[in-house]
Every structure is written in structure tokens, then in C-alpha cells.
Amino acid sequence: PYDVLVVGGGPAGAAAAIYAARKGIRTAIVAERFGGQVMDTVGIENFISVPYTEGPKLAASLEQHVKQYGVEVITEQRAAAISKDGYVNVDLASGATLKSRSVILATGARWRDLNVPGELEYRTKGVAYCPHCDGPFFKGKRVAVIGGGNSGIEAAIDLAGIVEHVTVVEFADTLRADEVLQQKARSMANIDIIMSARTTEVIGDGSKVTGMDYEDRTTGEIKHLAVAGIFVQIGLVPNTEFLKGSEVAMTRFGEIEIDTKGATSLPGVYAAGDATTVPFKQIIISMGAGATAALGAFDYLIRNPAP
Ligand code: FAD
């Protein structure tokens, strides 16, 4: 058995594994795809002390750093269930079971897609998911935000300070965002809100986004918006389906509940990053959380003898 088994190989998992391995304890990472969401990112300008990098480059340095410490890295394996019998057991979809004295869950999250033509083709070429990350790339341009929930309206308010103009496109005939956010957005001169609008297509010139089409659901008419960027804000889904029915407590949104040391409700099981209740989902925040969870797990190991 391992001392620390990290599930997930994104920034949170990599940081957790390095912090654990530096304690001289037997550490492994099991991940579907090393690098996580970072692999889907082009420019990264907010990884402090590195003014500019690109996702695949950062993912490669994460892997190199992890491997320097002799961490066993198992990729292309998906965790399917977790249970405890003295050791924590992680069952893999392949049928194998990994045993460890402690486990750190760092399975991240995924943005919900629009599933319309052009979205995939223009992802990172104008179709964006993170205003903190990509907002500055659209300075002085017109953008759309799809989704009128809290994250959509927050994104619109945030972007309105950077870009020329923001159009919020909401499917329903009301906004779900908190009233205070709606008021703030309505008070800003460069935000328009369109409701009852079903996004139908992302349009581009072959290399970048030039606009989008939506159906006015009240008339059935197809309308066009000329924009350089489209921020999709229709939900971030934690990759925690495999924990359903386990003793690891989650919110109704599927986020793993953690305390200030990264501990979950199941003793010996810690969690970090986008899969948890952490309010802000960013690379640097996930890394800090991974370090916290590893130190939390180490604290657990020195207080609890091996079974
Ligand atoms: P993830 O990066 O999601 O990694 C999760 C890991 O778990 C992966 O290795 C995955 O394969 C694995 N996994 C998932 N389920 C299982 C399972 N059942 N079994 C085994 N392994 C599993 N943040 C910034 O700070 N700056 C940016 O510029 C930036 N740009 C972004 C651009 C895009 C397009 C996206 C999508 C995100 C961006 N983010 C950015 C957000 C940032 O990428 C995330 O906050 C960060 O990657 C979260 O790290 P994580 O380790 O918690 O999860």
C-alpha cells in the first residue's frame, strides 16, 4: 500500500504529490490525463512569477517536477469508487484496486459546453470559459457572455471593466443571478442583457471568432451578434461522480466538502482544487490547496498508525 495516493494529475494533484513525496513517504498519482484542464489552455498570464506560459508547457513541467521525487505516476486510469477498511481503497474502472493509508482527491472539474456548431472549432480562438484568465485578451473588443446565473453576471461585470461592450445571452426569460448582481450589471452602460435567447452557432473566419447566432425564443427568429469573444458560463461540473454513495460528503452541486486542512468527512481522505468547495477555481489556488491537502494528510499519517 501507499502512504499517500493522489487521484488526479492537474495542478492540485501535482502539488499534493510533490509535497507528500518530499516527506519521504510512499506516494503515487493515478490520473486519467496528466495536466488536467491545463492541457486545454493556451496562454496563461496569471501564474505568478511566470509572466507568460502555455498549458502543455506548464503540464510538462508539472510532470517533470513530480517525477523528480520518484512519485509513481499511473496515467490513463480512472477512479471508479472509494471505500475504507483500515486502508483507503480506490477502485479503478479497469478493475484493479489501489490501497493507501491516505488519499488526496484532486479530480478537478469541467466547464459545461454549449454543444453548438463552432464551439469546439473556436475553443481558445475566441470561445473562452474563464474571465479571470482570458478577459484581458479581449481588451477594447465586444464580447458575449452565455448564461445569466451568478457566474455569467459576475463575468459580465468583470469583463465590462476591460472590454468595450458585453452582451449577456440567457436562454430563460429571467435571470437566475442574485438581485444585487443583476442591479449592478443593469447599471453599467456597456452591458446589454438579452433573454429568451437560445445560442445556435459560434461563427468565425476560420482562425478566430467573429460572432454568434441565437434564436429569439419568443419569435423563432435567428439573430446575429458581432463579437470577438464568447464566454460560456453555463456551469462548472466537478469530476466527482465516482464518489456518489461513498462516505465522502459533497454539496448538492457535487463539490467535495473540505476543512481548512483539506480534510473530507472520511478520515484519511483529503481533497484539493476545482473538485472541492473552494470558491475560486484557478491554477495557483489549486496548487496551494494541493500543498495544504498533502500537509494535512501527513499530519494524519503521523497521528494514525498503519492498519
Ligand atoms: P484539473 O486541472 O481539472 O485536473 C483534474 C485531474 O484529475 C486530471 O488529471 C484528470 O484527468 C483527473 N481525473 C478526473 N477524474 C478522474 C477520475 N475519476 N480518476 C482519475 N483521474 C481523474 N486557471 C488559471 O489560473 N489561469 C488560466 O489562464 C486558466 N485558463 C483556463 C483555460 C481553460 C480553457 C480552462 C478549462 C481552465 C482554465 N483555468 C485557468 C482553470 C484551471 O485550469 C483550473 O483551475 C485548474 O486546472 C484546476 O486544477 P485541478 O488540479 O483542481 O483540476
Whether residue 216 has its Cβ less than 6 Å from ligand 1: no
Task: Measure the CA–CA gap between 36 and 216, rounded to whole angstroms.
Answer: 36
Q: What is the pLDDT of residue 267?
A: 98
Q: Is the CB of 274 under 6 A from ligand 1?
A: yes
**The three cell numbers locating residue 132:** 479571470
State the closest ligand 1 atom to the C-alpha of 13, by its place in the atom list counted from 1. Answer: 51
CA of 208 to the centre of ligand 1 (A): 24
| Cα 107 to middle of ligand 1, angstroms | 8
What pLDDT is recorded for position 41? Answer: 85
Please state the length of the chain. 307
Is the distance from CB of 107 to CB of 9 less than 8 angstroms? Answer: no
Q: What is the pLDDT of residue 42?
A: 81
Beta strands in the chain (DSSP E): 2-7, 27-31, 43-44, 53-54, 72-75, 79-85, 87-92, 97-105, 109-111, 127-128, 142-146, 165-169, 191-194, 197-204, 209-216, 222-226, 229-232, 236-238, 269-271
What pTM was computed for the model? 0.91
- At which residue does the C-alpha cell 482544487 appear? 273
Q: Is the CB of 12 under 6 A from ligand 1?
A: yes
Q: What is the pLDDT of residue 43?
A: 87
**In 3D, which of 58, 218, 227 has the Cα closest to residue 156?**
227
pLDDT at position 61: 97
Q: What is the DSSP letter of 269?
A: E
Calculate how far, in angstroms, residue 209's C-alpha sits from the geometric centre of ligand 1.
24
Residue nearest to atom 36 of ligand 1 (CA): 37
Dist CA 14 CA 106 (whole Å): 9
SS3 91: strand
Nearest ligand 1 atom, CA 133: 28
The residue contributing the CA closest to ligand 1 atom 23 is 282
| Ligand 1 within 6 A of CB of 133 | yes
- Cβ neighbour number for residue 191 with a 10 Å cutoff: 19
Query: Dihedral (C-alpha) 172, 117, 224, 182: value to the nearest 10 degrees?
Result: 30
Query: pLDDT at position 40, please?
Result: 85
What's the CA-to-centroid distance between 290 and ligand 1, angstroms?
12
Ligand 1, residues 33, 37, 73: which to mutate, most atoms within 8 A of Cβ? 37
Q: Is the CB of 152 under 6 A from ligand 1?
A: no
Q: 129 CB under 6 A from ligand 1?
A: yes
Q: How far apart are CA 281 and CA 71, in angstroms?
A: 25
Q: What does each of the 307 residues of the chain score in pLDDT, given as a tens digit?
A: 999 999 999 999 999 999 999 999 999 999 999 999 999 888 899 999 999 999 999 999 999 999 999 999 999 999 999 999 999 999 999 999 999 999 999 999 999 999 999 999 999 899 999 999 999 999 999 999 999 999 999 999 999 999 999 999 999 999 999 999 999 999 999 999 999 999 999 999 999 999 999 999 999 999 999 999 999 999 999 999 999 999 999 999 999 999 999 999 999 999 999 999 999 999 999 999 999 999 999 999 999 999 8
Q: Is the CB of 282 under 6 A from ligand 1?
A: yes
Distance CA(10)–CA(223), nearest Å, equals: 39
Probe ligand 1: pick from 78, 107, 240, 276, max atoms within 8 Å of CB? 107
d(CA 126, CA 68): 37
Residue 4 pairs in a beta bridge with 27, 102
Output the residue whose Cα is nearest ligand 1's atom 37: 37
